[in-house]
Structure 1
């Protein structure tokens, strides 16, 4: 199933920083976030900002909200179209490359993977004004320090970036180069859009969304970062269960992962088509010749292997979850109406909360180790920081929504949704490793959850 449920997501861009895997995504607006009421049931794309998530175990993900938006590009020509980005690290800074459809590709820079991101140029990094192919940038720095950017739909283009990461290298153009240091590649079989460039075991890989529709995850290989590229087949082949797909690939803690997208979250509510996608992932492996072993469709795979257990004796943000369908999330003190004019500039890391809590909904955490650092004694108490203009009962269960109850907490009215305080309960029989279900019932009014912790 999809990795995230509080928002519709697409176009995954993974980035490993130390022990943490960050995943940047585009954001398909929910109907209530689309400014024009007449467009809220449209099947089209409504995309205004980009989101960030992180994990250390590949199954429990923490949401960090919008990391940047179209508003961060003052020169943009449209108020819709926050399409596929990639964020990379270079010399201690973080560069977010974004398509501004019909207006080229821009870049934002930050000192932190969380932002705030700023536009250093005030204009496009590349813009081929003669067409609208400038979408879906992917950026890769090779072992020799050279950095390449690929992009394009339906044609594939590349250029070399200077070491500043915000300008195109224009010296010594090849015969195939276009103006401004840009090279158009010969057609790559089945290539449509969404390229992802990376290197492994001496091979260069160009993964991509294959010819539409439906799009699949295809790839080509080369011994050179600029090609020639030889098409090798599919990472995941086309299926009528999915209209579109965009790859993001990374190595993390000794494993290789491919991220992609589907409509499976939306399909929990409707099969009437809308562009409301959801990101998911799976592990991939390689044959001896470097080719990638094909994987089945997302719903036909086993659940992701958890890389480490979750420690419940540290502060855990409420927006950390393996599953939380029906819940919503927001950055504290930031109201995003979905209207570009109302969006804040990139804010950097901010505390978040979970809201829109209803009876029968729950937060699932996978692989919670109640014996972490506690021998076999387990947990004795649970505390959750919340605010409320209303009330809710929180029941803690193990391994399923009907599993054994280890504790119950009632969140009471705090007088304001901006006034948070701790609500606590004793806990029993919380020993060993279990999935934790934080279940909600008897909900009324506006209840917001900040973070929780066992002791």
Structure 2
């Protein structure tokens, strides 16, 4: 009888292997669960093949799952050797890390999905789906001006647009506060950039992206890019919509754009608002107009829309073949649609006429957790066959004001808003937005619609929760590129990710990083057991330049877990991946 020597090379996707007398048992896995145990007694020739998350054992000579009787003479298990960049041992790195005081609290509560961001503010959200990701564009509410002075409701200082994106609606990648208006922005003629709207269109065989924004209340600008997140260029060097645009001269506030690209490829722009000098019940200050094929010009004269009790905040969706124009009502007392609520109108045509339907969203400030009331700004977006309501609250500001660090700095009047999301029920057959009450929106937010993949190159500025983290936005001087990094601002800062799917495991970790200190990777925010929750300690070389670090894992993670990166010191975290 021929005896067989077998060499097994273990990888992140190999099954667990148990050596038994005269046999080997293999536990194979599928979707993170054990599916079968194979007792293998000698083969003339064997190969391991990964297919759909399982390991198939097969005989090269006779086909799949053909086993032969016999005796295995010996078995060698070979573990891949990972060359670590750590100079110190794991115990030494652990000792250094434990000298750092880690603040395990966060302004965005662990497990909650609202607000979308816990490290920065963002208001007036607008959503756009592209290639399986939801991109959200926001007014860049921020606390300090360029001189470091606290801004108490400083709309006039807002010249950037913040952009984030996600595949799963819980772990968000921060694409930075992008320079749109002012001397450092793409549209240097504009004083401000508020309340953005975004769309993309294939022009001459290439997808082009268009970002429309409000220059204060004086006009609508447009900038373009080859990506959903910039860098942006000003294609016309002036406002697209201004007081000089026909039928727009008497609109008090030329702002709050919304954009729709219809099924035939023709695009439309919606904007306007304000009640100054108008009848509050019927101000007639909303407008809509067809955009040119280039998306940066208009066709014809803007058409008036007359929403009852209009204040601001244009929205547009095509649902069930009908065009639904939505808006925020003003502060004049009325029973329908009510004060500062989101209402909508319906039309058979993109330029109207529109017929009033009613309110469908409360002021989110009426929710007990939202941090108080204020202006109401929304967008309805369809993503992965579900509808979502985007809106802003003051929940992050309220949480920060409760902390000793910020209680004496952030005033009650500071207009610091945070984007939130809730699922919206929509009847497509009847083209109806069902009512979403303040009591139905929650700090828990929407559910995560897919797990997070740790095996691809992930941006360091991707997070579900965090503490003492900011982001840095850089545009290349000679090569047109945008670089965003997560900046760990204080020793003990951390980043958390939700529902990270390690499938059958991982052997190592690599990242691009600069700074100093130690990075601890764990599957719990507060590890209670060194062996059971900590995956690795990573030594961060103290250098001004980025370094690629690589380490083997102390423990192999499997299945779906929460993942946390804790930093013992300040650093810049560019990207990371497991393997």
What do you get for the CA RMSD once the two structures are aligned?
2.6
Aligned to 1:72: 186
Question: How far is the alpha carbon of 1:261 from its aligned partner?
Answer: 0.8
Candidates 265, 275, 286, aligned match of 1:156: 286
| Contact 2:502–2:560 under 8 Å retained in 1 | yes
CA contact (8 A) 1:4 1:279 kept: yes
Distance 1:106 1:303 in 2: 32
**Cα displacement (A) at 1:392:** 3.5
Given the alignment of the two structures, is residue 278 of structure 1 paired with residue 278 of structure 2, yes or no?
Answer: no
Counting matched residue pairs gives: 417
Matching residue within 341, 349, 355 for 2:487: 355
Quote the Cα distance in structure 2 between the aligned partners of 1:289 and 1:333: 46
Give the 3 Å change call, closer, same or farther, for CA 140–41 of structure 1 in structure 2.
closer
Which residue, out of 119, 122, 125, partners 1:12?
125
Matches within 5 A, 1:319-330: 319-330=461-472
Deviates more, 1:220-229 or 1:200-209: 220-229
Structure 1 residues 411 and 352: alpha-carbon distance in aligned structure 2, compared to 1, 3 A threshold: farther
Who is 2:342 aligned against? 217
- How far apart in 2 are the matches of 1:379 and 1:144? 47
1:313 equivalent in structure 2: 455
Change (3 A) 1:296 1:327: farther
Partner in structure 1 of residue 324 of structure 2: 205
Alpha carbons of 1:412 and 1:139: their partners in 2 closer, same or farther (altered >3 Å)?
A: closer
Contact persistence 1:75–1:122 (CA under 8 A): yes
Per-residue Cα deviation, 1:248-303 (whole angstroms, up to 9, x for no partner): 22211121112111111111112623111111112111246332222344863543
| Inter-partner Cα distance in structure 2 for 1:358 and 1:299 | 33
Q: Is the 8 A contact 1:324 1:364 kept in 2?
A: yes
Q: What 5-or-longer segments of structure 2 have no aligned partner?
A: 1-113, 275-284, 333-338, 367-371, 402-410
Q: Within 1, Cα distance between the matches of 2:551 and 2:361?
A: 47
CA distance, structure 2, for counterparts of residue 320 and residue 361 of structure 1: 14
Q: Is 2:463–2:496's contact at 8 Å kept on the other side of the alignment?
A: yes
Q: Which has the larger radius of gyration?
A: 2
Q: Distance in 1 between matches of 2:391 and 2:435?
A: 14
SS in 1 for 2:398: helix
- The equivalent of 1:61 in structure 2 is 172
Distance in 2, matches of 1:252 and 1:385, equals 32
TM-score (normalizing by structure 1)? 0.84
Aligned to 2:456, the other structure's residue is in SS state coil
- Equivalent in 528, 537, 542 of residue 409 of structure 1: 537
For structure 1, list consecutive stretches of 5 or more residues without a partner in the other structure. Answer: 171-180, 335-343
Cα distance change on mapping 1:264 and 1:411 into 2, 3 Å: farther
Distance 1:238 1:55 in 2: 23
Q: Distance in 2 between matches of 1:96 and 1:22?
A: 12
1:258 equivalent among 381, 389, 395: 389
